Amino acid sequence: MCSFETLQERLQKLNLTIGSDMLCFNMISTFFETTYGTPVALALRKSPWPILDSFSVPDYFAVDDMPWLAAEVSPWMSRLPCKLLIGRLKSCLQSMHPSLRPLYKNNSKQLCWNTILRHLKQRGCFLCQDDKYLLEQLLSTHLSHSVTEFSCTSIVRELLVAEYGKDILDELSRPILTQKQSINACVKLRKTKQKMQERMTTFKLVNEIRTSWPHKISHEIIFKRLNEYLEGTLWTLPPPCAVCSRQIHETSVTSLIVDGDTSALPHHLDMLIINDPFVIQTCIVQCNLLEFTFSHKSLDGLMLYKPPAIHLLPNGDAHLDICKQCHSSLLKSVMPKFALANDLYRGPLPEQFSDLTWVEEMVCARFRYTAYITRLFQSSDPALPNVLHGNTCVHEMNVVSTASVLPRAPADVNNMLSVVFIGPGKF
């Protein structure tokens, strides 16, 4: 008897493909079939056990993991193997020796399965009869293993796996269930598959959410976007107008260059020359004001708003910012409506009036042309009992009276400023 390594070496010399799990008797059959031909190989593979005789399993033989050896195989025959295709069953039958192969109908999966079961049970029962024959069969299939590694039951199983296939033995190892148990098992299997499907769906959904979920934004990008938002929403007023001193939002400003080497004024700026006796006498002569002195010989004496509306350039020229409305009037040689020279300048305010509130301004104003309505609510925070908040509405009104003496008397202020309580509760 040759060793396992010798068989491998002989087959490799014949340029035959050898699998790592190839059994010894398959190697021997392949060697004889390649060397001497198929008829010789089939004759050598002929089993010496009588196929037509019937055998029973001895009482001392333990068949716990193979109950179909000692029992009737009818329950296993009535169960169709779902995991085994008919092609696999046919290949198992065709691999049997012609002298041992039973007759079967190759177009019926159930008949092929029943034929294999009867043949397999007869073969298994015969292997249980003679221990010597059992050992010989074991050595012919497992030359590289020690005999002490196997028990009688395991030897029979190993031989049946080698001759019929592990998938067929595994199918027989499945327990036989009653109809009720089979239904319950099917229901349980269906629920298990449904749960697994739900878990897989949930897992895929979580993965999709995880991959599509926005990543954590760095502080650099956050501050960059905040700065862009701040710059984009920042309300920046245009430069003040040199003619009317107003800053009007969303109004274009025209830049006017006045040449420092000529005394001619462009765009009819000469109509802004100070000619009001009150301003000349009260504001300039008596107060010695330099409000309308710009260090530019062409602009000195004009009633213009000082820097930042007027910019002196290093070459001696002057740069004036003029709003669209004033610039349009000057081009038509018309006094701008809101120009300081249009009797809208009466001198600078005294220092005492530099920080007046809007209520104080209303008391000191000669004309009343607006009405203010304010509704105040008390803070809901107990820690801030003296804090009030609210909204103010401003309405235009006709000029009712002109004050002859300032500040106004309390009787005059009473109609202009009043407090009305609209409820006893907290607001």
Residues 314 and 361 in one domain: no
pTM for the model stands at 0.40
Domain assignment present for residue 90? The answer is: yes
Domain assignment present for residue 294? The answer is: yes
Mean pLDDT computed over 101-107: 74
Q: What is the 3-state secondary structure (H, E, C) of the chain?
A: CCCHHHHHHHHHHCCCCCCCCCCHHHHHHHHHHHHHCHHHHHHHCCCCCCCCCCCCCCCCCCCCCCHHHCCCCHHHHCCCCCCCCHHHHHHHHHCCCCCCCCCCCCCCHHHHHHHHHHHHHHHHHHHCCCHHHHHHHHHHHCCCCCHHHCCHHHHHHHHHHHHHCHHHHHHHHCCCCCHHHHHHHHHHHHHHHHHHHHHHHHHHHHHHHHHHCCCCCCHHHHHHHHHHHHHHHCCCCCCCCCCCCCCCCCCCEEEEEECCCCCCCHHHHHHHECCCHHHHHHHHHCCCCCCCCCCCCCCCCECCCCCCCEEECCCCCEEEEEEHHHHHHHHCCCCCCCCCCCCCCCCCCCHHHCCCCHHHHHHHCCECCEEEEEEEEECCCCCCCCCEEEEEEEEECCCCCECCCCCCCHHHHHCCCCCCCCCCCCC
Residue 144 pLDDT exceeds 60: no
Domain boundary among 114, 142, 176: 176
pLDDT of 143 reads 46
Residues 50 and 162 in one domain: yes
Q: Predicted confidence band at 19 (pLDDT cuts at 50, 70, 90)?
A: low
Residue 265 pLDDT exceeds 90: no
Domain assignment present for residue 6? The answer is: no
Mean pLDDT computed over 186-200: 89
Percent above pLDDT 90 for the chain: 9
Query: pLDDT tens digit string along 35-89?
Result: 766 665 655 555 556 666 677 777 666 666 777 777 777 777 777 787 888 888 8
Domain assignment present for residue 362? The answer is: yes
Residues 307 and 387 in one domain: no
**Hey, which residues does 310 pair with through a beta bridge?**
320
Mean pLDDT computed over 312-339: 89
Average model confidence (pLDDT) for the chain? 78
Domain assignment present for residue 262? The answer is: yes
pLDDT of 394 reads 76
Domain assignment present for residue 30? The answer is: no
* Number of domains composing the chain: 3
pLDDT of 177 reads 65
Please check whether residue 92 is in contact with residue 75, taking contact to mean a CB–CB distance below 8 angstroms: no
More confident residue, 23 or 1: 23
Residues 167 and 55 in one domain: yes
Domain extent for 401: 355-414
